[in-house]
Amino acid sequence: MMEKRTLGKSGLEVSALGLGCMGMSWAYGAAGDRKEMITLIRDAVGLGVTFFDTAEVYGPKVNEELVGEALEPVREQVVIATKFGFELDPSGGPLPVGVNSRPGHIKQVADAALKRLRTDHIDLFYQHRVDPNVPIEDVAGAVADLVKAGKVKHFGLSEASVATIRRAHAVHPVAAVQTEYSLWTRDPEAQLLGALEELGIGFVAYSPLGRGFLAGAFKRGEALASDDLRRRHPRFQPDAMQKNLSLVESLTDIANGKGITPGQLALAWVLAQKPWITAIPGTRKRTRLEENIASASVKLTSADREAIDAAIAAHAVQGKRYGDNEMSMLNL
C-alpha cells in the first residue's frame, strides 16, 4: 500500500499522493462520464489513495456530489477535503463572481457540502481564496465553531500568505495549506515552506503536474479545446506553450534515463521536498492513476535532483500561472 504522511502537527494522516477530483467535473473541457468517474475514485481507494480533494466551486457543486456518491461506501477509510470562500454566480454560471468568507456564509457552505458529500463531517475544510473584506481571525473563528459542532475536523487555507497563515493559526490551528507547487511553480520555496515547518502545518501541493503539462500531455502545435479553462492561463497561450515544451522535453530525457515517465519524475520531485508534503494530481484515466500512484515509490538521487535543477535553469518558464484577474485573488 502507499506510504502515509501526516500533515504537520495536526495528526491528520493521508496517503502521500491524494486525488484531485476537480477535473472530473469541471475546468478541463466536458465533464467525464459520471459512472466512469465514480469507478475511478473507488479504484483509487483500492490502490491505496486515502485523500480526496474537491470544492463547492467545482462545477459548481456537482464535483462534491460526485465525490460524495463515490466515497459513501468507504467513508470511514478516506479523508475528504473541500473548500469554501467563493461567491457563486447567482445565475448559475460555471465561474464564481467573487469571494465570500463571511462567517454566516461559511457555515451555510459547510452544511450544504455535508449533504452533497453524504457525510456528517468534513475532514479538511479550506478557505479557497482569502477574502480581503473579512478578517482572517473571523474566518478562523467560524471554522472553529464548525469544529466544535463536529461538522469539520481540520481547518485549511489555500493560496494564503505567511502573514495570513500566522494570524489564522493563532485563532485556530491550521492543519494544512494548499498552494500550487510543481517543477514549474516553485514560489512556495521562498518563504512559505519554511514558515509551515516552523508552525507544524502540513502542505498540499495542487497542480503538481502543471495541469497536465509536466506529464507530457501536450505536443507541439496542439491546441486546447474551446471549453478548457487552461486557455485563460498565460502559460498555455500558444507561444508560451511551445517554449515551455522545451522544459518538458528535457525532463522527459531525465525520466527516460530512470525508466519512468516525466509525470512520475515531477510527482516524485514534489514528494521528495519534505515528509509533510502531499500532492493531489488529478486524472480521468485508470492508466494515469496507476502511473501517478507508482511515483510515490520513486526515489531521486542527488544526481537526479541536480539534473532537474539544471533543466529548469536552462528553460525559464514562460508566462504567469494564472491570468491577471485570478492572480489578483491570490493572497501573496
Residues noted as catalytic: 58
**Cα–Cα nearest to 211, from 16, 26, 2:** 26
CA dist., res. 284 & res. 27, Å (int) = 13
Q: In whole angstroms, what separates CA 81 from the centre of its chain?
A: 10
Give 205's contacts (C-beta < 8 A, 6+ positions apart).
178, 179, 180, 181, 182, 270, 277, 278, 279, 280
What the block records as the C-alpha cell of 72 is 459513501
DSSP string for residues in 304-329: HHHHHHHHHHHSPPPS-SS-HHHHTT
DSSP 19: E
Collect contacts of 300-308 with beta carbons under 8 A, ≥24 apart: 300/265, 300/268, 300/269, 300/272, 304/254, 304/258, 305/269, 305/272, 307/254, 308/183, 308/251, 308/254, 308/265, 308/269
Q: Which helix (H) or strand (E) holds 245?
A: helix 238-258
Instruction: State the number of CA atoms in the 13 A half-sphere of 258 facing the CB.
Output: 23
Take residue 26 and report the three cell numbers written for it: 469541471
Q: What is the DSSP letter of 28?
A: B
Question: Distance (Å, rounded) from C-alpha 106 to C-alpha 173?
Answer: 17
Determine the Cα–Cα distance for residues 7 and 309; give it in Å rounded to an integer: 26
HSE of 264, CA atoms in CB hemisphere, 13 A? 22
